[in-house]
Amino acid sequence: MSDKTSNPLFDPKRRKAQTMLVHGGMERSQHGETSEAIFFNSGFVYPTSGGAEARFKGEEPGHIYSRFSNPTVEMFQQRAALLEGAEAARATATGMAAVTTAVMSQLRAGDHVVAARALFGGCRFVIETYMPRWGVESSLVDGRDPENFARAMKPNTKVVFVETPTNPTLELVDIKAVAEIAHAHGAVLIVDNVFATPVWQKPLELGADLVTYSATKHIDGQGRAMGGLILGRKELIEADVHTIIRQTGPSISPFNAWVLLKGLETLPLRVKAMTESAAKIADFLADHPKVDSISYPFHPSHPQYELAKRQMGAGSTLVAFTPKGSKQAAFALADALAVIAISNNLGDAKSIISHPATTTHQRFTPEEKIEMDITDGLLRLSVGLEDADDLIADLSFALEQV
């Protein structure tokens, strides 16, 4: 009789990433279901009162309440941690819940936080508006030069927060350099890795302490469910992050966790296909006479091309570009597209174009927009899973209308 326990692949750690994404974290119930089960329940029953007491005391393993833990959510967290190469992970209801929870878990009144100023709108709001309201001082710096972080550090700086590539202009932050600066001052570095995805960038390997995701983006990747993730070392996740989730409740629904868990199975396949198309589209746009400029980390015209090659595996699924003729041209172009939709999500199977200056970044003052390079002509394209030739033909037609 043969014995699979002597098969080297019996050990999950010997399996490659794509295999882990299909099988990792799987916990089958007594029914032996093929696909992961959705445990769509809020509470759990105990065999006896003594059993309940032991579980609450932490003397016996087991779930208590889905605000703290749930079997489906746990499968999602474990699978995500395997992909990231993180010791532990916690899922949240949205990407903003992940960022807010991660940042708050490391800060208290009297502390100071330094962040790159080019941030996703909600993230910038948390750092710039809420933190000072709660007695946490905040500084925003130009994240392209690590020296700016070094200059902003203070004795009470506890957190450095960055996003790279940034939304919407795809500027980069040197994660390794900024991690060294943060650690030299006793601060933790939190990286929002949504744009790069875990497929192309591993901030923990570069020195980050916590990584956050909006799982709403590439991890779902099909425009269905919202969710977020926080990943990192066991002690940060299981103490600080777990406690704040347990006590304040930004918890994810088991159903959403299940959708996102299934999304992880195909994440690298989708991200690689979308990236391949994005790189082709970046080349097409860069050479087009009606395009003023493009921003794509793996295009040689990117001012941080060398850094991109060093810290990312590929240029991501997004391309930012500016047609000649400012807002009027940008609107005319977007309105002439037949396949690419006007929307503000990203990382979706469907290609999406957005005009940041009048939508996601509308509330910023003209000075702030200039600071973040958000011009009136800037368009952000999230490349989907359609045939790249169709996307290029769609853009080509639309550019002729400009």
Ligand X SMILES: *Cc1c(COP(=O)(O)O)cnc(C)c1O
Query: Given the rule CB under 6 A, which residues bind ligand X?
Result: 94-96, 99, 120, 122-123, 163, 167, 192, 194-195, 214, 216-217, 226, 228
Minimum Å gap between C-beta 235 and ligand X is 25
Of 253 and 394, CB closest to ligand X:
253
Minimum Å gap between C-beta 97 and ligand X is 7
Of 185 and 355, CB closest to ligand X:
355
CA distance 256 to 262: 10
Question: H/E/C letters for each residue in 313-333?
Answer: CCCCCEEEEEECCHHHHHHHH
Of 119 and 391, CB closest to ligand X:
119
Q: Are strands 188-192 and 157-163 parallel, antiparallel or unpaired?
A: parallel
Measured in degrees and rounded to the nearest 5, phi and psi for residue 327 equal -60, -40
When computed from its CA atoms, the radius of gyration of the chain, rounded to whole angstroms, is 22
DSSP string of 90-155?
EEESSHHHHHHHHHHTT--TT-EEEEES---HHHHHIIIIIHHHTT-EEEEE-TTSHHHHHHH--T
Of 123 and 160, CB closest to ligand X:
123
Of 364 and 397, CB closest to ligand X:
364
Minimum Å gap between C-beta 310 and ligand X is 21
CA distance 129 to 116: 15
Of 84 and 394, CB closest to ligand X:
84
Minimum Å gap between C-beta 192 and ligand X is 5
Measured in degrees and rounded to the nearest 5, phi and psi for residue 58 equal 80, 15
By Cβ distance, which residue is nearest to ligand X? Answer: 95
CA distance 199 to 271: 7
Minimum Å gap between C-beta 228 and ligand X is 6
Minimum Å gap between C-beta 117 and ligand X is 14
